[in-house]
Chain A
Amino acid sequence: MTPRLTMTVNGKAREIALDDPRVTLLDLLRDRLGLTGAKKGCDRGQCGACTVLVDGRRVNACLTLAVGLDGADVLTVEGLAQGGALHPVQEAFIAHDGFQCGFCTPGQIMSAVALIAEGEAGDDPERIREGMSGNLCRCGAHRGIVDAVLDAQRRMAGDAQGRMGKDGERAA
């Protein structure tokens, strides 16, 4: 039996024929839809490099079976930019050097987009660190990452004090 699924991926409706129920969302995105932004780091839910949004919530794509996602709305890092304009979180990662090698970055960015939408961390750097703890960065760019999330959340909240730039406000 070949299950057929309908999914929206980055705003586009997709019909997917799955020949094997073992395919994870991560493998579907990377190997079958050509969306290689989400990364396969540990493949066991421990590193967060595969983070994408399903129906607006951040999840680990490596521990999600594609076959269970009939009707789902999936957003990956490739779907964040609008036209030519980067998403504020993407801009903030660049402005604050929120990466080094870049492997974990798509997962970090998707996780940060969701964290800001969850609205529970606010502009408390400790809450942001806690809220981002499911995304490991082996280069150790966490300081830039926290600064980027802080800056993006302030800008998105329309906070007049929010500003971009390498010397954006540091955690108190």
Chain B
Amino acid sequence: MRKFEYLRPTSVEEAVAAASRPGAAYLAGGTNLLDLMKTGAAGPELLVDVTRLPGLDAIEPLTDGGLRVGAMVRNADVARDAAMRRNFPMVVEALLSGASGQLRNMATVGGNLLQRTRCAWFQTPEAACGRRDPGAGCDARDQAGRSHAVLGWSERCVAANPSDFCVPLAALDAQVEIAGPGGRRDVALRELHRLPGDTPHVETALAPGELIVALRLPGAGAGFGRFSRYLKVRERTSYAFALVSAAAALRVEGGAILEARLALGGVAARPWRAVEAEAALIGAAPDAGAFRAAAEAALEAARPSGDNAFKIELARRTAARALALAAAGAPERMPALPASPFADIGAPAHA
């Protein structure tokens, strides 16, 4: 690990001023940043520890029925919150499907939103990576690409965003509150992560020094309640990143879909909101045919970025199944294996 200076400011203003210096980075739970500093993929000269900033560690109700979550609330505590479980169960399911009990105790809301891609070439400083080093090309381009994007990628970068949390947040139109050198502003979660285009190193909508202070889940999304699910396909049942995932929410009345939300994970450099699929569902009966048609619409623009064409069909099936799970409604108690395809068919046979 390269040498760095460490600062623990006591106010947001002080933190923003410190982190606006070139070479500075915010340190929250450290579960992503320290890992990258150890591989050498990141080498900040100054760490600005924001974990003890006042006022960023609460979950509060909003007047519209939504919730506001401070950026320093740990992932495990978001998942334990009673109002979150009641109103936004797919957010809880997504969080509990990610990482491990230890990591969720450490990881913060802000850090989860801004965690970097798990692309192995990004994480390996010896590899060429235009996301890490502006203009450096992409050694991942001709690789098999199990973890790579099938939507929204470019010749310059095929990396996917690895966050589970962000997928239901995109479906729920979450807003991100930001404090920066120029004051406060909001960014829609759907606009927080950038598609790579010709500038893959511009990963997010944040300017240098900007700090995420909170996340708002609008009340409009609370109406889905238990008719919202997160489904995550991965290479082992627990403690693995998504190959493909989907967050789905439905409002059905009189046998017809009145409102639908669908977002996909593991398929693009941002959580992928599938608005075409949502439009295709309105007015339809909530059945397998409608869900498959919506899934087709969601993946319409997909194309393989390597030897990963299988992810396109996998994403269609995952989306259709997540919609079916949403229509059926989440069980009263969180499944033992959150977001797992095995969650609803009883325990898999263990050795």
Contact = CB atoms under 8 A, between A and B. Distances in A.
B100 interface: yes
Nearest to A61: B102
B102 A68 contact: no
Contacts, number: 87
Instruction: Specify which of B100, B103, B238 lies most central, judged by the most chain A CB atoms within 10 Å of its CB.
Output: B100
Nearest to B35: A44
A134 interface: yes
B239 A134 contact: yes
B256 to A, nearest CB: 37
Contacts of A132: 101
B5 interface: yes
Given A111-B101, A126-B337, A63 B106 contact: yes
A65 B30 contact: yes
Contacts of B1: 22
Contact of B6 (A60, A64, A65, A134): A65
A98 interface: no
Contacts of A29: none
Nearest to B30: A63
Interface in B92-138: 99-103, 105-106
Contacts of A59: 102, 105-106
Given A64-B30, A129-B350, A58 B35 contact: no
Interface in B12-53: 27, 29-31, 34-35, 38-39, 47, 49, 51
A45 B6 contact: no
Interface in B72-110: 76, 99-103, 105-106
A124 B6 contact: no
B51 A68 contact: yes
A58 B102 contact: yes
B12 to A, nearest CB: 18
A3 B30 CA distance: 19
A118 B77 CA distance: 11
B351 interface: yes
A6 B45 CA distance: 25
Instruction: Specify which of B39, B49, B350 lies most central, judged by the most chain A CB atoms within 10 Å of its CB.
Output: B350
A15 B49 CA distance: 21
Contact of B238 (A118, A124, A133): A133
A58 B105 contact: yes
B101 A43 contact: no
A111 B104 CA distance: 13
Contacts of A130: 238, 336-338
Instruction: Specify which of B3, B8, B102, B337 lies most central, judged by the most chain A CB atoms within 10 Å of its CB.
Output: B102
Contacts of B3: 20, 22
A115 B3 CA distance: 35
Contact of A60 (B31, B51, B338): B31
A48 interface: yes
B346 to A, nearest CB: 9
B336 A124 contact: yes
Interface string A118-137: 10000010110111111100
B187 to A, nearest CB: 27
Contacts of A115: 101
A132 B347 CA distance: 16
A21 interface: yes
A57 interface: yes
A22 B4 CA distance: 8
A3 B31 CA distance: 22
A58 B101 contact: yes
Nearest to B37: A22
Interface string A47-66: 01001000001111001110
14 contacts: A44-B39, A45-B31, A45-B35, A58-B102, A60-B31, A63-B30, A64-B30, A65-B30, A65-B49, A68-B49, A111-B102, A127-B336, A130-B337, A133-B101
Given A58-B102, A126-B347, 4 more contacts: A60-B106, A63-B103, A67-B6, A126-B336
The 3 closest A-B pairs by CB, nearest first: A134-B100, A133-B238, A126-B336
